[in-house]
Chain A
């Protein structure tokens, strides 16, 4: 598969300042049930006008099985391009590097995995979160998503927010 976005372009998109719309809390409070999982999506834009989407999926049976995706779509891209995925607990193998691990992990889009057909097939183990809200908090921080004016600064009342990337 051709490389659609280079690593630098991916990094630039992740670092663009983005703002959640007012209805962003539906990612947490208005999940829709679909069979054996819950889902919800929110669209947002960066200051430069780039379109993004945050999608969440959460297992009905297992609260540690979830996925929170940041994807982008521009006029040059006809489909959603998955930039980051914050995953629940599970096993993963990085095919190119030959690494296998089990735990909470973050998928990161790369050029080298685009060539193999899946931009988001590379992942890194993380200890920065251990539940769905923690993962969402990490995504918000890592990808520079700002909450709308007047919204609380964090998803959490106490300071148990996601630590910064080491």
Chain B
């Protein structure tokens, strides 16, 4: 096949995958091959207001992301930055949760490409949640500790000064105020889980009385045996961050109020 023929074939096959279907008054659904990672295609409509044509997602993109992510987590931290950068880069407007891009100069193809690229970048924040992006998980867990626990009742990266002056056995957050302190472990990885297991065993050997709360991002990323060994020393339910942020905050609040 000649390169010209390949080029023609590419253009025809790509063009054939973009289609307009009437969807109502001055509104057309734009069907494309681009989709979320669960197989659902992006929702894109072409709408006319007066003489202006506008591409819109009709609010679907954010709604779709909330199938997997807490709404609040879309509006802060790394995820919020990814979204706002994508909007700025491709001149897409967020109007009350609806993503819009006006078509100017009759450049429908350019507008559609820019809009789709913005949607792809934004939908990637869902990937950010599933991947063990340690900076986000650690940042999220630290933010949770700071938001939910008063300063005078929390100690980050705590170790026992009496038994462990070198700070070898640490917990991510120690919470005081109850007869037994609460030790919170943020299990970001397999090695963190193994370290937490060893630490809790050592605390038991030293006779330290405590309660524990494990926070985890993705248990499927941790070897089942490693997790099982951790469960031998901590039988509290695993709490997921970010999905279970509200439940974790509620639990911490209940613990603080005794």
Contacts and interface: CB of A to CB of B under 8 A. Distances in A.
A78 B97 contact: no
Contacts of A80: 240, 243
B238 interface: yes
Closest CB pairs A-B (n = 10): A35-B97, A36-B59, A36-B97, A91-B41, A78-B238, A37-B63, A79-B240, A78-B240, A78-B216, A78-B219
26 contacts: A2-B220, A34-B97, A36-B58, A36-B63, A36-B97, A37-B63, A39-B63, A39-B71, A57-B66, A59-B60, A61-B59, A67-B67, A75-B238, A78-B219, A79-B219, A79-B240, A79-B244, A80-B240, A93-B35, A107-B38, A107-B39, A117-B37, A118-B39, A121-B37, A121-B38, A121-B39
Interface stretch (A18-26, A82-90, A132-140, A157-165): A82-90
Interface of A: 1-2, 4, 34-37, 39, 55, 57, 59-62, 65, 67, 69, 75-80, 82, 85, 87, 90-95, 102, 107, 117-118, 120-123
Interface string B136-175: 0000000000000000000000000000000000000000
Given A34-B71, A78-B219, A91-B41, A59 B243 contact: no
Contacts of A77: 219, 238
Contacts of B59: 35-37, 59-61
Interface in B234-258: 237-240, 243-244
Contact of B220 (A1, A35, A60): A1
Q: Which of A36, A55, A87, A94 has the most CB of B within 10 A?
A: A36
Contact of B39 (A37, A69, A94): A94
Contacts of A85: 67
A90 B39 contact: no
Contacts of A36: 58-59, 62-63, 96-98
Contacts, number: 109
A55 B96 contact: no
A90 B239 contact: no
Interface of B: 31, 33, 35, 37-41, 43, 58-60, 62-64, 66-68, 71, 96-98, 130, 216-221, 237-240, 243-244
Contacts of B68: 82
A106 B219 CA distance: 26
Contacts of B58: 36, 59, 61-62, 65
A39 B240 contact: no
A85 B64 CA distance: 12
Contacts of B238: 75, 77-78
Contacts of B240: 78-80
A2 B66 CA distance: 23
